[in-house]
Amino acid sequence: MQLSVRDVDDSVFKKFKAWAAEEDMPIGKALTMAMDQFIAWRDTKIKPTDIKPLNLGKRARNLSEEIDKVLYGD
């Protein structure tokens, strides 16, 4: 498949092309790998709504204040 892409930064493309040449890899294969890794990275980002509260028990009720005392003193 032949593909044309607009608005690609020249300096970034030159670096990418040089990297592909060093790896003895065709540009198409290198671009496919880069896009695949980008998609995997994007899909693994943690959203704030994915974070669930953690119950550390009653002893940890004032934990942040205790940590502040250790770090900053009374």
pLDDT per residue as tens digits for the range 6-50: 999 999 999 999 999 999 999 999 999 999 999 888 877 777 788
In this structure, what are the phi and psi dihedrals at residue 73, rounded to the nearest 5 degrees? Answer: 80, 180
pLDDT (0 to 100) of residue 3: 83
Whole-model pTM: value is 0.54
pLDDT (0 to 100) of residue 22: 94
